[in-house]
């Protein structure tokens, strides 16, 4: 795959650290580019995460199954973010959540063993990616916590204010699941605020 397909990842990483051209070439040899349609499962709950995804285009969602056996959207991740189930990926344990495409996606795939090869050859890369994924995790939790303790209408209003790009691109069923309300309630809220 030509390095051009990996440009979004390299452009993003270079916001944090200058990466020499020869290192970009080394990384390109270990990466895979993939286009994936909407509503495709990339990691099934209970499996071990063996890949990390960098989102070039599209939105991924982290989904868990509630006590009634229904899927619940926990988080959305979009362009210029890494996505995996970190505990599973790092500790080689079964994932407690699934990763699913919320819309059509273009992804760069970093397989765990190839990423380890890169970390051995380019030691600064592990610190760089760990730092970015740690910051993303903090932001995901802060965003999610902003909706806690609010009534359904306030949660929806905050969501469209804080994450309008996601609100416009994912199915309403995903938005309802993420906000912890039924689709019927969400439809009613949307009618009432217009």
pLDDT digits (tens, 9 = 90+) for 9-25: 999 999 999 999 999 99
Residues 128, 44 share a domain: yes
Residues 100, 158 share a domain: no
CA distance 2 to 25: 10
Residues 54, 140 share a domain: yes
Which are the contacts of 148, defined by CB distance < 8 A and separation ≥ 6?
none
> If you search the block for the tokens 């959305």, which residue do you land on?
76
pLDDT digits (tens, 9 = 90+) for 115-140: 999 999 999 999 999 999 999 989 98
Predicted TM-score (pTM) of the model is: 0.93
Distances (CA, A) of 6 to 30, 39, 81, 188: 11, 23, 14, 43
Q: Please give the residue range of the domain that contains residue 88.
A: 3-146
pLDDT digits (tens, 9 = 90+) for 63-120: 999 999 999 999 999 999 999 999 999 999 999 999 999 999 999 999 999 999 999 9
Residues 141, 61 share a domain: yes
Residues 101, 34 share a domain: yes
């Amino acid at each position: 795959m030509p390095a051009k397909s990996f440009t979004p990842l390299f452009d993003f990483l270079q916001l944090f650290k200058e990466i020499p051209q020869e290192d970009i070439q080394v990384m390109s040899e270990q990466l895979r580019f993939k286009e994936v349609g909407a509503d495709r499962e990339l990691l099934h709950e209970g499996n071990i995460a063996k890949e990390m995804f960098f989102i070039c285009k599209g939105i991924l969602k982290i989904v868990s199954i509630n006590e009634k056996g229904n899927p619940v959207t926990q988080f959305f991740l979009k362009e210029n973010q890494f996505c995996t189930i970190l505990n599973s990926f790092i500790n080689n344990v079964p994932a407690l959540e699934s990763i699913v495409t919320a819309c059509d996606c273009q992804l760069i795939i970093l397989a765990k063993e190839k990423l380890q090869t890169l970390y051995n050859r380019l030691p600064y890369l592990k610190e760089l990616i760990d730092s970015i994924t740690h910051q993303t995790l903090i932001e995901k939790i802060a965003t999610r916590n902003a909706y806690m303790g609010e009534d359904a209408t306030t949660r929806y209003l905050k969501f469209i204010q804080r994450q309008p790009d996601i609100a416009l691109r994912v199915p309403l069923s995903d938005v309802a699941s993420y906000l912890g309300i039924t689709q019927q309630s969400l439809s009613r809220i949307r009618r009432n605020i217009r």
